[in-house]
């Protein structure tokens, strides 16, 4: 497993302070938090969890039209989701509307494309990365990115997402535009299962 977490702005240490805890123990930790975890802590939190097939089973199902979002935990300070992607499925280009998050690949290959807002020309491509099982990536405020399962992967993708505060919406962008083009509210667009 990778021991670093990369964002569009910096590289953070994702070495877990503790490891070997399961998904249910992670949910217990999230429930007991007195406030949202710091962005810098998210990589270590996801890096330390060992998700078994049995724990994951209730959260793994797929949709044909778009990726599926399965809520594991929703609390006042954080939200934990499992996302399931068929080859070729991806998010729109987006930010997290004030939330920050981390993603750990559990199965498959995830492509992440990073963008930046240029003063004169609007949103522009910055770079792309490939993430494999065990790897953790993060998106801080105001990072803009796109995640997906490459159609050439030939396999399903399952990812674990931790957001703080809980994700309520995504601001959607288009390359060359200087502002978001729309807002997707998570309770109405691609609702969580």
Identify which has the larger pLDDT, 44 or 89.
89
What is the reported pLDDT for 9? 37
Is the confidence at residue 120, as pLDDT, over 80?
yes
pLDDT at 11 over 60: no
Query: What is the pLDDT confidence band of residue 1, given thresholds at 50, 70 and 90?
Result: very low
pLDDT in tens, 130-188: 999 999 999 999 999 999 999 999 999 999 999 999 999 999 999 999 999 999 888 76
Is the confidence at residue 2, as pLDDT, over 80? no
pLDDT level of residue 86 (50, 70, 90 thresholds) = very high
Give the integer Cα–Cα distance in Å for 93 and 125.
Answer: 10
- CB-based contact 103:136 (threshold 8 Å): yes
Instruction: Name the residue with higher pLDDT: 17 or 67.
Output: 67
Average pLDDT over residues 95-101: 94
15 pLDDT band (50/70/90 cuts)? low
Q: What percent of the chain has pLDDT over 90?
A: 78
Distance CA 33, CA 69 (A): 23
Residue 100, beta-bridge partner list: 164
Q: Where are the alpha helices (DSSP H) in 36-142?
A: 39-48, 53-56
Give the pLDDT score at 58: 96
Burial of 41 (0-12, 13-18, 19+ CB in 10 A): middle
How high is the pLDDT of residue 186?
Answer: 81
Position 17 confidence tier, pLDDT thresholds 50, 70, 90:
low
Cα 90–chain centre separation? 12
Q: Give me the architecture of the 4-185 domain, per CATH.
A: Sandwich (2.60)
Q: What is the mean pLDDT of residues 20-43?
A: 92
**What is the per-residue pLDDT for 158?**
98
The string of DSSP letters for 54-69 reads HHHGGG----SSS-EE
- Stretch 89-114: mean pLDDT, rounded? 96
Instruction: Kindly report the pTM of this predicted structure.
Output: 0.89
Contact 28, 68 (CB under 8 A): no
């Amino acid at each position: 497993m990778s021991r670093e977490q990369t964002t569009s702005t910096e590289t953070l240490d994702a070495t877990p302070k503790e490891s070997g805890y399961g998904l249910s123990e992670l949910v217990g930790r999230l429930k007991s938090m007195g406030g949202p975890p710091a962005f810098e802590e998210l990589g270590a939190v996801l890096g330390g969890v060992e998700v078994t097939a049995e724990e994951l089973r209730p959260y793994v199902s797929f949709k044909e039209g778009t990726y599926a979002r399965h809520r594991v935990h929703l609390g006042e300070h954080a939200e934990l989701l499992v996302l399931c992607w068929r080859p070729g499925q991806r998010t729109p280009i987006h930010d997290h509307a004030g939330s920050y998050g981390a993603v750990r690949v559990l199965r498959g290959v995830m492509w992440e494309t990073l963008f930046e807002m240029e003063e004169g020309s609007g949103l522009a491509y910055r770079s792309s990365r490939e993430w494999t099982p065990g790897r953790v990536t993060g998106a801080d405020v105001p990072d803009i990115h796109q995640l997906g399962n490459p159609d050439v992967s030939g396999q399903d993708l399952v990812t674990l997402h931790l957001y703080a505060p809980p994700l309520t919406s995504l601001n959607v962008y288009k390359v060359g535009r200087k502002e978001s083009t729309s807002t997707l509210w998570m309770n109405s667009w691609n609702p969580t299962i």
